[in-house]
Every structure is written in C-alpha cells, then in structure tokens.
Structure 1
Amino acid sequence: MDFRELTLDDKLIEGLDAIGFENATPIQEFAIPKIIANKDLIACAQTGTGKTAAFLLPVLHKIVQLPENERHLNTLIIAPTRELAIQIDQQVEGLSYFTGVSSIPVYGGGDGETFVTQKRALEAGADIVIATPGRLISLLNSNKTDFSKLQHLILDEADRMLDMGFLGDILRIISYLPEKRQTLLFSATMPPEIRQLARKILSEPDQINIAISKPAEGIDQQAYVLYDQQKLPLLTSLLKDSNYKSIIVFASSRESVKEIEKELRKIGLEAKGFHSDLEQTAREDLMNQFKANKVRVLIGTDIISRGIDVTGIDLVINYDCPGDPEDYVHRIGRTARAGTAGTAITLINPRDQRKFFRIESLIGTDIPKKEVPSELGETPEYSPQKKTTAGKKPFRKGGKKPFRKKGSPRNKKGPKPKSKPE
C-alpha cells in the first residue's frame, strides 16, 4: 500500500517523498489506520517487520494536528533497554523532520549531568518521551512531571520488559498517567502474562499479528569476534579490498561516525561520515556523491539504514553490533538489493555477544564467524550465553590505542535529519 493511501499529514508525506519511500509494510498498513482511529492495539510483531514506524507515523500525524498549547508531553513510549530507546528516538528524528515535533530519550547509565538534563527536558515537556522503566521511575519521584495532556502510551517489546522483571515498574508508571488515553502494546510473542497485562491497561483493543521479515537470500553474512582495539585495524584491512566498490559502515553514534572518518582519512582511505551535524544541503550532496560512486565509503548511524535507497552496494560493515535484530535486518538490507549479491560483516566485541546471539536466534541463521588476522593478536571466544565483560585487552607493543565510541546522549532542540521508516 502507498503511504498516500493512509491519509497521513502532508508534512509526513513530504518527508517520505524526500527519502523516496512509498510503500508501507504489512504492519504499517494494518496498524496506522487503527491508531489514527484512536483504537487501543495489541500488535504481535517480530523485529524486522517495521513496527517502530507503524506506531510513530500515526502518533506524529495526530500530534501535528494539535494546537501548540495541547502538545505538552503528548506521547510516552516505554522500551526495555537504553539501546532501543535511543533507536526509537533516532526514528522520531527522521520521521518528524518536517513537522517540528520534539522528543527526548530517557535512560540510565549516564552521569549525574545526564540525569539532570533528562529531568529538565521531561519537566519542560517534549512532545514524545522514550524511556526505560527504571530511569523514568527515578525521574517521576521528583513529582514535577505533568502527564495531564498525555494522549498515547506505547509499550514496545512488552514481552522482553516482563522477562526483565519490569512489570511492577510499568504498572507504577501507568498510575501516574491519565486513564483516558490511547494505549498501544507491541510484543514479539504473546505469552499469558502479556495477555493479563493487556487486560489491565488496554480498553477493547484491536489485534494484529505479523510474521518476521528476514535478510535477503543474496547476502553473504559474516562476523568477526574481537576486542575493541582490534576493530579499527580490521576495518582498515577490510576496506583495502579493492573488490568492494561501494561500502557502508554502521556505527552506534554520530561521535563514533566522526572518529572513524577521521581515523580512516588519516591513513588515506576515502571515507565520509553522514551525521546530523551536517547541514541538510551537505547531507543531500554527500548522498548524491555516494549514489554516483564518487564516495566509496559512507559511514553513518541507523538513520541511513532507513534513509538510503541505493543499488550496487557491495559491502555493509556493522562496526558496532546493533542492539535490535530489526536494525540488523535493515542495515544489511542496504546490500543485495534488486536481485544483486552483497556481503554483510559484523564486528562483535565481548559485551555485544548476547546482542548478536539474539540476532541469530530471531533470523534463524547461524552466521559464520571468520578468523581474525593473526597479526591483530588473540581474540575472545564466542560464548554469548555466558556472562561477559568488556574484556579489555592489553595494548600490543607498538600497536594503536583502542578505538572507543563515546556514546553521549543528544540534547535535541528541534527536528533532526530525515530517515527512512522501517
């Protein structure tokens, strides 16, 4: 179905047109009309089906229709992990590019300054708040958050949140919210506990069941298990292979994108970073250069995994393992398009092994682990079901310093670059 048939706001259609995205996925086709019609919804949707855009597009549509004075803390999205909260926020950035809708990710793990920043943003009242349960509970204890105008509550990956023991936190958060609201529950599975939760917090919900999408057959999927300080040397070695003419490297944050670009250019490799600090005209020019094969290596975050429609990409490298299998499917889907073949390589450090194991489990594929060149030193064992640490490895004599991403949270003040919906 064409997005124009879903009666979305013209500003959202304008953004979708700008990135050349026309057709909705099945869950978007079924969910968007129900959400616009203010129905509560239970959606059983595996990762890789386009579920995030399925709830963001109609919510953004409804927010844009509201008078400015009715938009204070309009939507609360609860996600199980920091990584997923950040990914959803990046989706809001892209989809809301022409709308002026604001959002803030709220999650733990930062320093005191991060907590204060999130607290102030929550009190100021962004249109959309994407939060992990634990950090949101901490912020709600300040009693300065006004949810009186909240219209939408969205629980993403509800089964995972219950597995992680967040049921009590979720119910406590809901006690702060107005009873008159629209509630959307998205879950990969529907165990009895999810049904019980749905009966407590939803009102006469509609239901949707969508199967998982999997990577294209033509993608040669590979992985390397290694330490952080081995990533950059291995990346450099992979990029020197002249058989790859068009390459995308995915990193976890714009800070990582900038640092990878700087390090690659230092050693003479042609590479350019695509990130939100670039002006819109610069981003468009860079994308046009990449499409015209004038830029061989493009480095970016998940924003470009949904915002690029280019055939002929030979290689996709996940420098940082995506936290959500859905993002993995979208990232590697940039290659092997229109019936072509392509290669997708993921670099897995010790702390990301469980993430990668979830990816393998959900796509039903045991991805081959390639041997790291011996000159890079010893590598960790791939044992994702064991508890792992960051596994810091001593410097090799005469070697480079470890390359680490900074991963600092954004302090958003307005619309960010557009991105392609899932």
Structure 2
Amino acid sequence: MGYTTPTPIQQQAIPPILDGSDVIACAQTGTGKTAAYLLPVLHHMLTRDLNHKFINTLIVAPTRELALQIDQQVEGLAYFAGVSSYAVYGGGDGSDFVRQKRALTEGADIIVATPGKLLSHLNLGYVKVQQLQHLILDEADKMLDMGFYDDIMRIIAHLPKNRQTLLFSATMPPKIRELTKRIMQKPAQINIAISKPAEGILQAAYLTYDRQKLPLIQSLLKDKPLKSVLVFAGKKTEVKAVAAALRKMGLKAADIQSDLAQEEREAVLRNFKNRSLQVLVATDVLSRGIDIEDIDLVINYDVPQNAEDYVHRIGRTARGENGTGVAITFINEKDQRRFNNIEQLIEKEVQKLPLPPQLGSSFEYNPNARVAAGGSRFGGNKQGGGKRKPQQGGKKGSNHGSGEGKPPRPPKNEG
C-alpha cells in the first residue's frame, strides 16, 4: 500500500483504537486519518471471531463522494483479508436501494454510509447492527454543518451501547463537544495542530468586486498551459455559472454540485482525474471526495467560511511529486475580515496582486472590514453601508504586488 512511516494522526490514534478506547481526533483531511482508523479496526476484525452475518463496523460520512472514497480505501486495505464492505448513499435508483438492502440484511462486515440514507434503512428495521463493534464518524464537523446532528442521534439510538466510537473532525466547535459527551465513554483526545499550507504552495489573492470575478478567472486561465485546475465556489449557482463561462472560452471544464445525478458526479471526477477535463468547479461539500495529485492551480472563487477550510482547499495542490502549486483567492469587500483570520492562522500575509488593467480598479484592503448588519456574503438585506468607491490607480495599499495581474508562478523544486 506504500506505507513506510506513520503520519502524526496515525501515530497518536492507532494505539488507543487498538486498546478499544473511544477516540476524538481533530485532524485535517489529507493527514492520513482514514488509515488511522481503518488499520486498527481491520486488525480487530482479523484477530477476533468475526460473524459475517452481522455488520461489524459502521462508518458515517457527510457526502456520497467521501463515502465512496472511504469504501475504496477499505477495499484496498482489506483486499486479501476476506473482509467485505459496502457503500450506502442516496441519489441512485430502485435497484441501488435493493442492493443496499441486501448488504444491510445479509451482513457486510463494514458499511460506509451517508446519514440520511442510512437512517432510512435503519427505520425499516432490517439492518443487522445487533453485533456492531465500531462506529466511526468521519468529518463530523461537516455533518453537523450540513444539519445532520439529529440524524446522527437517531442513528445511534439504533446501535448497541457496548461499542467503540471514533470521531474524526477537522475542527472542534462546541456542537461537536456536545455530541461527544452524549455518545462517547471517556474518549482519548487527539489534537493534531492545524497544518500550515505546504511550503511549495505559492499563495496570492485578488481584491475584487463580485462583478469582476468572472472576467478575472477567465483572464487568469485564458491561453495558460494548465493541465489541472480546481475551482471552489460557495454556491451551486456560482459553480454552474463559472463552469459554463469557462467552457464558452474553449476550456474543458465541468462542475460538480448537488443537481447532478450520482452517475454524472462520478463520471466528472473520473474525467478530471484522467485529465479529460482541465478545470473542475466544485462546492466545498461536493469536493470532499476529490483526492487527486498534480493539481496545478487552486482558485478560491470566494473566501472559505472558516480558516481551516482554506488550508484544506489549497492543500489540494502541491500533492504531486514536485510538491509545488499555486493557490489564488478572490476577496470581495465582505470577505476581507475573514481572509485576515486566514492570514493569522497560517501566520503569513498573502500577497495581494493587482487586477488585470482591463478589469478596472479595486478597493483598498481593510482586514478589519465588517459586513453591514443584516448582510451576508452573497448579498441579502443590508442596512447601511454601501459599496466603497474604487481606489484610483497609484494610491498606496490598493493592490499590493507588481505585474499585470498574472498569477504567480509556482516555486521551483529545489530537490
């Protein structure tokens, strides 16, 4: 499988899991956390009497894409172990439901499921969880962000109390703490410090009004020899619009968002992975199953809701052999304070580049700017405070950096 040295989360999580303790682990995606819980759980399954007629391990993940990715890792790790697994998620047809029911009634050893679909099956009374040994909640903070708190509690009501519970999360907001108090017994607590972006990622940002964002991304990608670009946008309407605009200019671009059927999403991911697509535009939630190396450029079409997500987003580049990549963020007036929080987290001031001349001027960066009362990052009812007037060219502080609005080149690998 290519494992040589355990990652920090694997070093700290595997021993208490092997000991049978409940575990709360705070670690980012991309740190090896999936193997951190799968390896010891598989060890338990292989060294104990395993009743294949019942589900031994239940892994709950926020999205179909992540559930499929975890299931693929289970298959890889357990290929020669005689351990069966099955992914249970929504978005399919009636035949999918029949196959899922068969796996849940005849007993797959490991079930990887999304909360809503799993609960639908549990409520019908045929899911064989009576001998469940392990419950794993992966990316628990995302599940709560998506409103699954009550579903998780309903799922747990169906499960035996005598089980091992493992919770993995990129952040530890109060609601996660509340959840762990209700479902866990004296858990071991592991906190892997939020990793800073890899040194090989060259970060930059543009200060831009919303109306300038689409022409800006078109300008950045026009006639550039980029093989693989990942764009994050906050809403599916934006995701669709950006992908459509890039296709119009001749780029092989596609979007992945909740309106697509499951088969279409899987096809888009395959095409992006095999380089049939140059650009993939995705929402945060729908990007959770994207695990692809050699992404040249990550563009944040808007600033992520929290600083940790920024590190996660831009970490999708610089994963290849040369360990380099570029990450660019578009900052509108309302997102300035949020971006300042990101700069504090990563302990670095990100270079602000000037807009291409044809897009006009922007505004002066104000890290303490606040959204007007009643406003939101995508508009809505705003009380007071209109748009700032654009700064005239040449004033200090309006857009730091030099050049004609070209994205920075990735640093050379020094070996």
User: Common fold, TM-score beyond 0.5?
Assistant: yes
Structure 2 counterparts to residues 45-84 of structure 1, below 5 A: 45=27, 49-59=31-41, 70=52, 73-78=55-60, 84=62
Residues 259, 146 of structure 1: alpha-carbon distance in 2 compared, 3 angstrom cutoff: farther
By how many angstroms is 1:174 displaced? 1.4
Aligned length: 345
Aligned residue in 2 for 1:103: 87
Structure 2 counterparts to residues 324-403 of structure 1, below 5 A: 324-325=309-310, 327-334=312-319, 337-338=322-323, 342-346=325-329, 363=346, 383=371, 386-389=375-378
Aligned residue in 2 for 1:121: 100
Alignment check: 8 A CA contact 2:63 2:288 kept: no
Gaps of 5+ in 1: 1-12, 288-294, 392-422
Aligned residue in 1 for 2:389: none
Alignment check: 8 A CA contact 2:70 2:112 kept: no
By how many angstroms is 1:60 displaced? 6.0
Residue type of the partner of 1:88? L
Residue type of the partner of 2:114? A
- Determine which of 213, 229, 241 is the counterpart of 1:249: 229
- Determine which of 91, 97, 117 is the counterpart of 2:69: 91
Alignment check: 8 A CA contact 2:331 2:339 kept: yes
Cα distance in 2 between the residues matched to 1:23 and 1:71: 35
Alignment check: 8 A CA contact 1:221 1:368 kept: yes
Cα distance in 1 between the residues matched to 2:69 and 2:370: 31
Residue type of the partner of 1:343? V
Residue type of the partner of 1:89? A
SS in 1 for 2:136: strand
Cα distance in 2 between the residues matched to 1:247 and 1:218: 18
SS in 2 for 1:55: helix
Cα distance in 2 between the residues matched to 1:25 and 1:321: 29
Cα distance in 2 between the residues matched to 1:105 and 1:181: 23
Alignment check: 8 A CA contact 1:353 1:383 kept: no
By how many angstroms is 1:237 displaced? 2.2
Please tell me the root mean square deviation across aligned C-alpha atoms, in Å: 5.9
Q: Does 1:154 align with 2:140?
A: no
SS in 1 for 2:196: coil
By how many angstroms is 1:105 displaced? 3.7
SS in 2 for 1:332: coil
By how many angstroms is 1:27 displaced? 0.2
* TM-score, scaled relative to structure 2: 0.56
By how many angstroms is 1:344 displaced? 0.9
Aligned residue in 1 for 2:164: 182
Alignment check: 8 A CA contact 1:40 1:205 kept: yes
Gaps of 5+ in 2: 256-264, 363-368, 381-415
By how many angstroms is 1:215 displaced? 0.4
1:291-350 alpha-carbon deviations (Å, 9 max, x no partner): xxxx99575986896442x5xx75333569888446314213348955x5x421246899
By how many angstroms is 1:235 displaced? 3.8
Cα distance in 1 between the residues matched to 2:74 and 2:33: 16
Cα distance in 1 between the residues matched to 2:338 and 2:47: 38
Alignment check: 8 A CA contact 2:229 2:296 kept: no
Aligned residue in 2 for 1:400: none
Structure 2 counterparts to residues 146-295 of structure 1, below 5 A: 146-156=128-138, 158=140, 169-187=151-169, 197-198=179-180, 200-223=182-205, 231=214, 234-240=216-222, 242=224, 245-250=225-230, 267-269=249-251, 277=267, 286=274
* Larger RCO, structures 1/2 (Cα 8 Å, 6+ apart): 1
Cα distance in 2 between the residues matched to 1:136 and 1:354: 39
Residue type of the partner of 2:88? I
Cα distance in 2 between the residues matched to 1:86 and 1:352: 30
Residues 25, 378 of structure 1: alpha-carbon distance in 2 compared, 3 angstrom cutoff: same
Q: Does 1:29 align with 2:14?
A: no
Alignment check: 8 A CA contact 1:350 1:389 kept: no
Cα distance in 1 between the residues matched to 2:272 and 2:358: 37
SS in 1 for 2:312: helix
Structure 1 or 2, whichever has the larger Rg, is: 2
- Determine which of 30, 40, 45 is the counterpart of 2:22: 40
